[in-house]
Amino acid sequence: MLKIEELVTSTNGKYINGDKNYIPKNYIIDSRLANEGDFFVPLIGENTDGHKYILDCVKSGISGFFISSEYDKKEEVIKDSININKDICIIEVLDTQKALFETGKYNREKHINIPVITVSGSVGKTSTREMIASVLKMEKNVLVTQKNFNSCIGAPIMTLKMDSQDVCVFEAGIDDFNQMEMLSDLLKPDVCVLTVIGTSHIAALKTQENIFNEKLKITSHIKGIKKVVLNSDDKYLKNVLSNDKYKTVFFGKDQAYNIIITDDNIEFDTNIYNKKEHIVINQIGNHNINNALCAIRVGEIFNLKVSSIIKGIQNYKNFNKRLEKKYVKDILIIDDTYNASIDSMLSGLDTVNNLKSKRKIAVLGDMLELGEMSNTLHSKVGESFKNLNFNYLFAYGDYAKNIYESGKQYFNEDKAKWFNSKEEMLQNIEKVIRKDDIIYFKASNALKFFEIIDKLIKYIEKSL
């Protein structure tokens, strides 16, 4: 973690005010989250300029902030900030977003001996990172990516938290060309993990081959341990070979056997350090088998005890809105609405299909950022119902209409419907639900399916 004078040095900024030896403990980019002692980085976005909220943050007790030399009200904001708090730390920089990145890079280089594991891929980054962290925490002090701080803006906030940890598990996410090269330069990973090469952000990156090539750039600045952990089930990743820069390590479903899937957990056997062991995952989600296998490979790289690896996997918990189970009066709602891609939607449907219930209802919405492949991939979801046992299909969204059109043939009359409003869809769900149903919700986060879920829970609690 950096002193104010180190922030000045790393950004080539101009010191304006405050204690140069002060060490901020937390960095924020959202003024609404400002708490006492935070350091605020005002970013300039498409719709607003964070500089407008500097004074609000100062009043909330922040310890300091960056300010752009090009902000037209710079002198006024500096003067008013010091009037509110004479000790406020102020650093003038040319570009606040670049300043954030450079400070994050500076602190990573300051703590270069702390090994960093980066997790990337089109699907499963967060769940894989959390599974790995759960395993490593059995023996080590671990810093793991918070929230969705995985971009060229979010990742520096995480590297600024590096201090005295044993190991860091950072997520790396991109939505355009050249960003992964920047993240690799920032994070300087010792171990790189790649989960799946899918179609997320294909609108910007155009092809899966481009996605693969961009994701692999996470290895550009690999150092230290120099291991790349790859999913051998993926047609792109399975062909990545060891080279002079790094050694590859593979995980995949062929490493798991005697698999038992229940409504509450998953069990299987696999080898750890070349010896057969029994694994229990106390979560649903078939993808967690690969997540666990990946975490095992990482645990082996760090020479963890077998007992620690097994216990770490047992302790793993899903994040909110990722196959999150919500029981309401004998009805099971599965909230999988954090985000959506073709791979995660098909995986989620398959997971729910294997759960026991009298009836299953799929409530699906648009998968975004798929570009010209949007219609095709949504149709593919609908076609998957040929091999699934769902009683109802409710779809909402312009693209999700393709799910309905290609999937309705696999349902009895009136059991598959498309809606142009969430309110109408909710009313239809309320009409058909009954005791012991499973209702699976999946859509990109922007569709705000959580609003439907919240209203449905209230309806069930009140009316059923």
Q: pLDDT of 368-411, one tens digit each?
A: 989 999 999 999 999 999 999 999 999 999 999 999 999 999 99
Is the CB of residue 122 less than 8 Å from the CB of residue 76?
no
Q: Is residue 182 part of a domain?
A: yes
Q: Is residue 200 part of a domain?
A: yes
Domain boundary residue, one of 96, 131, 148: 96
Q: Is residue 219 part of a domain?
A: yes
Q: β-strand 437-442 against 331-335: which pairing, if any?
A: parallel
Is the CB of residue 270 less than 8 Å from the CB of residue 237?
no
Residues (pLDDT < 70) of the chain are: none
Together in a domain, 240 and 210: yes
Together in a domain, 204 and 128: yes
Domain CATH code at residue 383: 3.90.190.20
Together in a domain, 25 and 61: yes
Domain CATH code at residue 84: 3.40.1390.10
Q: Is residue 101 part of a domain?
A: no
Say what the pTM is: 0.92
Together in a domain, 135 and 247: yes
Together in a domain, 259 and 152: yes
Q: Is residue 174 part of a domain?
A: yes
Together in a domain, 139 and 273: yes
Together in a domain, 256 and 371: no
Q: Is residue 106 part of a domain?
A: no
Q: β-strand 266-272 against 257-261: which pairing, if any?
A: antiparallel
Domain boundary residue, one of 292, 315, 338: 315
The CA distance from 432 to 454, in Å, is 17
Give the amino acid at 354. N
The CA distance from 376 to 366, in Å, is 12
The DSSP bridge partners found for residue 231 are 251
User: Quick one: pLDDT at residue 47?
Assistant: 87
Together in a domain, 419 and 445: yes
Q: pLDDT of 144-161, one tens digit each?
A: 999 899 999 999 999 999
Domain CATH code at residue 165: 3.40.1190.10
Cα within 13 Å of Cα(220), Cβ side: 16
Q: Is residue 88 part of a domain?
A: yes
Total domain count for the chain?
A: 3
Domain boundary residue, one of 26, 61, 96: 96
Q: For residue 19, what are the domain limits?
A: 4-96
CA distances 460 to 154, 178, 370, 431, 433, Å, are: 38, 48, 35, 11, 9
Together in a domain, 151 and 293: yes
Together in a domain, 74 and 124: no
| Largest Cα span, the chain | 71
Together in a domain, 339 and 285: no
Together in a domain, 265 and 193: yes
CA distances 111 to 150, 222, 287, 371, 373, Å, are: 19, 15, 34, 40, 42
Q: Is residue 411 part of a domain?
A: yes
